[in-house]
Chains A and B, each alone.
Chain A
Amino acid sequence: MTVPALEIKNLTKTFPGVKALDRATLTLMPGTVHALMGENGAGKSTLIKVVTGILHGDSGTINVFGENVHFDGPTDAMDAGIGVVHQERNVVRGFTVGENICLSKMPRKGPLVDWPEVKIQAKRCLDMLDLAIDPDTPMTELSAAQTQLVEIARGLYTETRVLLLDEPTASISVDEAMRLFRVIERLKAEGTAILFVSHKLEEVFEHCDSITVLRDGKTVVESQPLAGFTRDEVIDKMVGRALAHLEAPQRSVDMTTVPALALNALSTTAGHRNVSFELRRGEILGLYGLVGAGRTELARSILGLEGVVAGTVKVKGEDVRIRSVREALQKYRIGYVTENRKEEGVFLLQPITTNIAVTVWSKLAKFMGYVPAKDEQSLVAEQVAQLDIKISSQDQMAGQLSGGNQQKVSLAKWLAANTEVLIIDEPTVGIDVRTKRSFYDLIWKLADEGMAILLISSDLSEMITLADRIAVMERFVVRGEIENTHHYEEMSQAVIRLIHPTSTPAAGE
């Protein structure tokens, strides 16, 4: 009988007012990939933080390869051979990629940092993920997904016997996730024990061997082989009650109307060439592509944040030239829900009222710019009710809300401004199954009410669930457009074929 790589018994951790972990138990065997599932707030991240010594448990035991351990801090855990990729981005933005990867243990030459070695080590970690990033690149030049990948590379830096991955694939594309899974397979073959947290059921079912499910801090499924479960069963265990299977509603779009937004052979300073599509009212057009394909940049080009080199943008059939988000909003009623919620979507230190009313002040303003607080509050209250945003008061800071509610706030400001075209960039990154479901319902409802929606996502299953049509973008060019049949297998094959026209789809995809 092999000794478990990591054995957690009856771990309890209490925060003021909340039991984040309630006698949680988990057994992680060497050479396996173990899925840790649960909704947001179920205690997954807390568990990982306790195991890595960032937080201290109230009671319970942790054994690493049969040896009882007490970690005072993250360095202790590292010395015991536990590597971790945290959910939050923990990179230092002012540093280079290489410095970030080696940050936990800088290679030294005497008292000085051994810079050539930093580069070699960083390169080794990046190569494992087939990442063509120069270790000297400053972090600030990376996209959100690349940052995430560097974060993963960091977890590979030290020799680890136990690797904890907290939602590593939340904001990376299928292609990049595939590279990650290749690394995971290799580490697994070498005997590393891997704990894998993800909200994406497809990934879990494809790559994991066993599963533990947490609900409200308690273990509801304890280290069982994954083979015995169906997707629906796992969801049931996570949310604690049967949740209807995600099924797209029957929708029909009137294709005879003038497109609410159309691009005609658009080329941009960001590098897009000949991008064309038409988006009608009531339609959800998916824009799918790998990271770096130029999807977010396309949204920015439409909003005037990148320059147009050739081609035209048409709003309701008329050629327009949009120069700023303000113009897009006020003149053409186009809104943009950013992929980067915390940095670009909400004002964390401002009240809910401010966060939602920011788009409508110019409309509410009376003589001398006076904005009546009452008008503002009633408008915000309307959105809070419509989107079912959980707040204790409008004066609450946005930073105090959960991720899902923050995302709703970042969407609500555009609904308050009566936009007709909404560009939604990665709407459900890091959001749990149940909240995701309510977001899907919301997006369908908005489309049914006549909103034209351009949905950008790197989550293929989300795309196949939500979109009416899918445009596939690669290297700043739209490779093709497919009607969505909502059959996962069929659609994912079609999408992969568009991205890799010459090669056959990769195994397992």
Chain B
Amino acid sequence: MTTVMARVKKTAANPRVFLLFLIVLLVVLFGSLKPAFLNGPFVLAPLMSSIAIFTVVGLAQMVALSVGHMNLAVGQMASLGAMVMGLCYDVFRMPLILGLLVGLVAGAAVGALTGWIIVKTGVNSFIVTLAMSFALIGLVPAMYSWLSEGAAFTSKPAGLDLIGRQTFASICMGNTCGTDAVPLIILPAILIMGLVWYLYSRTRLGREILVTGSNVKAAELSGVPTGRRLMFVHTLSGTLAAAAGFMVAASVGSFTPAIGSEFMLPSFVGPILGGTLLAGGFVSVIGTFLGITLTLVIRKGLDLFGVGLETMNVLLGVILLVALSTERFRLASGGRRRGGERPSGEPAQTDDPDQPDEALKDPPESVQTEDKELAR
């Protein structure tokens, strides 16, 4: 019985479980107060569609965070990728998959360039990606007005509408069709989540990226080619951003310069709420998904209650702040209780050694020393 209790306690302490609990609670709350919230084609399908898109955006940021970097150009990389795709469909009449691939390569290329600059110059990723985003903010609309009529590519290759705007209701087997509450665009999002999860949890490359994020000096001295790993991470971030750009274009039906303009802030919210460390070395794909889901469920719910956009943004800001500060507080008190006042040289007692997420919260001595220094 006690072990069951311990297990329950441990699970409840996991931030991912906490997020899931909040999401379920809110859905039940909104659903019972406003039954319209559970309407399939008009509420749930669009909601899931934006969750799918922003999860991919969140992952594009998460991979940069995994090495302690950031990608402030995530939106602009998405818009560049989308522009290239639109160009392929509109001017070169390419089929869906081919144009998508070319666009992803464009995203990868701009990401690789960013990564290369960061590694070669040693300039902070914040600055390099900020500069990159400015350059692209200028470049992409200029390209649109030069290459398209009306500053948008509107040609739709076969299949674009299916993936972007339709639900499982369009997929039929004999006489039975799927539900119209679930959009098809969740499929690419699930595929991407699976691939990123596999990368970080199962492969050598993912492990090497995480140790690079954890301590780049130690990684280099352990034989990890840290420069190449950093470049890969930015390449991947650009690729995922371009994929998100494609998903937005598919869901609205045209390729415009506005794609990606609102990506940057949400891209941080998902990973951070989900437990990804800003300092690098720890990521959570599921957490990123749950973090994005929570914010979008709140947004949608408030929208149904007729809360205006301005009020909604203020409310969202407050909710995020509260959520993050309780999390921060929990971290801090947990760390103090377990490791903070440990006599030097004594190995720490781990309450739950088989729970890496929990153990992570125990800041190592060096971190504490720094904290103390700052406090003084």
Contact = CB atoms under 8 A, between A and B. Distances in A.
Q: Say whether A and B bind each other.
A: yes
A332 to B, nearest CB: 11
Given A43-B343, A74-B376, A395-B359, A347 B211 contact: yes
Interface string A27-57: 0000000000000110101100000000100
A371 B354 contact: no
A338 B222 CA distance: 10
B203 A369 contact: yes
B325 interface: no
Nearest to A166: B344
A397 B343 contact: no
A402 interface: yes
B89 interface: no
B150 interface: no
Interface string B273-305: 000010001100000000000000000000000
A281 to B, nearest CB: 21
Given A361-B204, A364-B204, A349 B360 contact: yes
Contacts, number: 164
Contact of B222 (A17, A358, A393): A358
Given A41-B346, A401-B347, A402-B346, A368 B218 contact: no
A328 B224 CA distance: 12
Interface string B338-362: 1101111111111001111001101
A326 B225 contact: yes
B219 interface: yes
A141 B219 CA distance: 21
B343 A45 contact: yes
Nearest to B279: A349
A179 interface: no
B204 A400 contact: no
Contact of A330 (B223, B282, B365): B223
A114 B345 CA distance: 39
A111 B113 CA distance: 48
B339 A400 contact: yes
Contacts of A403: 345
Interface string B197-237: 00000111111101100110111111111000000000000
A350 B367 CA distance: 14
B341 A370 contact: no
A15 B214 contact: no
Contact of A390 (B215, B347, B353): B347
A40 B345 contact: yes
Interface string A346-388: 1111110010011101101100111100000000000000000
B203 A371 contact: yes
Contact of B344 (A45, A365, A398): A45
B217 A344 contact: yes
A344 B282 contact: no
Interface stretch (A86-94, A120-128, A246-254, A489-497): A86-94
A364 B205 CA distance: 12
Of the listed residues B203, B219, B364, the one surrounded by the most CB atoms of chain A closer than 10 A to its CB is B364
A265 interface: no
Interface in B160-218: 202-208, 210-211, 214-215, 217-218
Contacts of A371: 202-204, 207
B2 interface: no
Nearest to B343: A20
Contact of A370 (B203, B363, B367): B203
A396 B353 contact: yes
B367 to A, nearest CB: 8
Nearest to B282: A349
A326 B224 contact: yes
B299 to A, nearest CB: 33
B222 A45 contact: no
A400 B362 contact: yes
B121 interface: no
Contacts of B353: 392-393, 395-396
A172 B32 CA distance: 69
B219 A358 contact: yes
Contacts of A359: 222-223
A90 B366 contact: no
B151 to A, nearest CB: 41
A206 interface: no
A329 interface: yes
A45 B345 contact: yes
B9 interface: no
Given A325-B222, A395-B353, A350 B359 contact: no
B337 interface: yes
A351 B355 CA distance: 10
B345 A402 contact: yes
A359 B337 CA distance: 34
A343 B349 CA distance: 23
B149 interface: no
Contacts of A336: 221
Given A16-B337, A74-B376, A88 B369 contact: yes
A397 B211 contact: no
Of the listed residues A329, A336, A361, the one surrounded by the most CB atoms of chain B closer than 10 A to its CB is A361
B310 interface: no
Contacts of A15: 341-343, 346
A345 interface: yes
Given A338-B221, A365-B204, A397-B356, 9 more contacts: A40-B345, A41-B345, A326-B223, A338-B218, A348-B215, A349-B281, A350-B281, A369-B203, A397-B364
20 contacts: A15-B341, A17-B349, A20-B346, A87-B344, A90-B372, A103-B376, A325-B221, A326-B224, A328-B223, A338-B218, A346-B218, A347-B214, A348-B366, A350-B211, A350-B281, A395-B353, A395-B356, A397-B360, A397-B362, A400-B339
Interface of A: 15-18, 20, 40-41, 43, 45-46, 55, 74, 87-90, 92, 103, 324-326, 328-330, 336, 338, 342-351, 354, 357-359, 361-362, 364-365, 368-371, 390, 392-393, 395-403, 405, 413, 432
8 tightest Cβ-Cβ pairs between the two chains A and B = A399-B364, A40-B345, A348-B364, A393-B353, A369-B203, A20-B343, A361-B204, A41-B345
